[in-house]
Amino acid sequence: MRHLKDFENNNSGKPAFCVFIAPRVHEDTINYFWISVKHGFEGRKQKIVAFDLKNFVRILESFIDVVEQQKPFNHQNIEVLFSAIVSNGEEEDSSVNWFRNIPSNIEEWETSLI
């Protein structure tokens, strides 16, 4: 969260996300990130996405599928996914629901790529 804040301060006006990837994301970490997304960190809401390894691999496999189909893919495609996850975090009433819905966000994103 601190690194994202520093990056945002040094790159104002540009979209910035923190991507956290772990084999398994501990529920305390999920809660901590969700609070930062929903309520903010040091006065500013943050754009943080957390993936367990299974979901991150799914994203990479989707990327491979798109490339193999010779469809266009760029950073904006990833930004759409990350933005959807952050928006979901802002709307959810709990960190558990937010993290539980990430696979649905990925599925919707995959559908939009096809």
Percent of the chain's residues with pLDDT above 90: 92
Task: Please give the Cα distance from 52 to 56 (Å, whole number).
Answer: 6
Question: Which residue reads 């994103």 in tokens?
Answer: 109
Question: Which residue reads 């933005």 in tokens?
Answer: 83
Q: How many structural domains compose the chain? A: 1
Quick: pLDDT tens for 12-50. Answer: 888 899 999 999 999 999 999 999 999 999 999 999 999
Computed over every residue of the chain, the mean pLDDT equals 95
Please give the residue range of the domain that contains residue 32: 2-113
Classify residue 50 as left (phi > 0), alpha (psi -120 to 50) or beta: beta
